Amino acid sequence: MVLPHSTALSLLLPLSAAQNFSAWSPPGPGDVRSPCPGLSSLTSHGFISHNGKILTIPILINALNDGMNVGADFATVIGGAGLLSAPANLPSTSFDLGNLNEHNFPIEHDASLNRADNYENNGENHSFNRTIFKSALAYYDGMNATSIPVAAEAKYNRVITEGKRGPKFIYTPQQFILSYEETAIYISVMGDLIYGAAPVEYVHVSFDGSCYQVRLPYVEGWRPPTKQTNLLTLGDMVFSRNAANGEVIPEGLEFTTNTLKLAFGGYDPIIGLLVHVL
Ligand code: HEM
Ligand SMILES: *[C@@H]1O[C@H](CO)[C@@H](O)[C@H](O)[C@H]1NC(C)=O
Ligand SMILES: *[C@@H]1O[C@H](CO)[C@@H](O)[C@H](O)[C@H]1NC(C)=O
Ligand SMILES: *[C@@H]1O[C@H](CO)[C@@H](O)[C@H](O)[C@H]1NC(C)=O
Ligand SMILES: *[C@@H]1O[C@H](CO)[C@@H](O)[C@H](O)[C@H]1NC(C)=O
């Protein structure tokens, strides 16, 4: 007998007691969280072991599928970047959320939408910064929902603002793609795949606060989207629309599925190598 693929199976089974959108609890002593609001909220809702530790690719595939209808292709590629962050001599098969804190390797980067940059903040990488978040959210003043062009403006403004600080601001082609992906994924998962129209209230709940506080806006009415967010949809949003906001595309960067996979996987999308920018 051919067993159904695990992601298909999880659509058929009820959520386990631990996976409960209504249940949320903050990390306790010894529990870890990451600068990623998506993974931190999935963990505090029980879609990932509450301690935030020993995340494997299969665990991520199920958590992203069950919690947000995000595809196994994306979970596998970005999960690979997560594995690179594990402090092991040998290639690791799991990582802890805390490993993702490492600055510029392979994911955490400057110009975040809600945290100060590493060198601005003495490496304090979890602190929510209200001034910064307000500057990003101000782009939605007078609007009830996000949109692709406005989300892209808000994101690019963070790059312009932090870029003025000079040489300690790092923004490589890999981070160009990754940061657009992060914008694309929040407006896809909280909104939709075509217009990126997410209620601004949902963005607040899932983003407004440190990684210890963020949650999925379930009580506000959000439900996992019926259409799957995956590499194709994210690539489409990043390449054809999100990035079309006047920001200069890094020289030599071509927009292909391969460059997307390289950047999400932690590699430089132009040279294809693992680079640790200090
Ligand atoms: C295996 C899956 C994932 C991994 C390993 C991962 C990792 C990360 C990391 C390390 C960051 C920090 C980047 C920074 O410095 O700003 C980040 C940011 C982000 N992630 Fe994830 N992520 C994953 C999945 C998701 C999912 C499913 C969502 C869905 C909402 C998401 C949404 C975001 C957003 C919106 C940001 C930007 C945060 C900011 O601007 O500070 N991520 N992710
Ligand atoms: C989900 O969590 C809520 C809040 O803790 C609880 O009231 C409810 O019974 C839980 N549901 C299931 C199916 O476990
Ligand atoms: C990130 O913050 C945590 C908690 O404050 C700290 O233990 C860790 O060293 C920081 N990581 C980096 C790379 O600064
Ligand atoms: C928050 O960000 C603003 C603007 O970059 C900065 O001036 C301020 O010092 C930051 N606050 C903290 C607590 O890091
Ligand atoms: C936003 O939503 C509120 C409540 O549903 C409504 O009264 C208002 O007109 C909406 N504003 C815009 C700009 O759509």
Measuring CA to CA, which residue among 81, 92, 158 is closest to residue 120?
Answer: 158
- Let me know if residue 173 belongs to a domain: yes
CB 13 within 8 A of CB 68: no
pLDDT per residue over 18-35, tens digit each?
Answer: 788 999 999 999 999 999
- What pLDDT does residue 153 have? 95
Give percent of the chain with pLDDT exceeding 70.
94
- Let me know if residue 31 belongs to a domain: no
- What pLDDT does residue 241 have? 81
The beta-carbon contacts of 73-80 under 8 Å, at least 24 apart in sequence, are 73/230, 73/231, 74/229, 74/230, 74/231, 74/234, 74/264, 77/231, 77/261, 77/264, 77/265, 78/107, 78/264, 78/265, 79/55, 80/265, 80/266
* Cα(74)–Cα(129) distance, integer angstroms: 28
Residue list, ligand 3 pocket, CB within 6 Å: 101-103, 123-126
- As for how many domains the chain has, the answer is 1
> What letter represents residue 25's amino acid?
S
Which of 45, 182, 204 maximizes ligand 1 atoms within 8 Å of its Cβ, making it the mutation to test the pocket?
Answer: 182
- Let me know if residue 85 belongs to a domain: yes
Half-sphere exposure of 54 (CA within 13 A, CB side): 3
- Let me know if residue 270 belongs to a domain: no
Q: Using the atom order of ligand 2, give the atom closest to the CA of residue 15.
A: 13
- What pLDDT does residue 167 have? 86
CATH of the domain at 161: 1.10.489.10
Tokens of 13: 């089974």
Its pTM stands at 0.90
The predicted model gives 180-189 an average pLDDT of 97
- DSSP state, 95? B
- Let me know if residue 43 belongs to a domain: yes
Ligand 1 neighbourhood includes 52 CB (under 6 angstroms) = no
* Residue-range definition of the domain harbouring residue 229: 37-264
- Let me know if residue 186 belongs to a domain: yes
Which ligand has the minimum distance to the alpha carbon of residue 120? 4
* Cα(41)–Cα(38) distance, integer angstroms: 6
Q: Please give the distance, rounded to the nearest whole angstrom, from the Cα atom of residue 20 to the centre of ligand 2.
A: 6
- What pLDDT does residue 244 have? 75
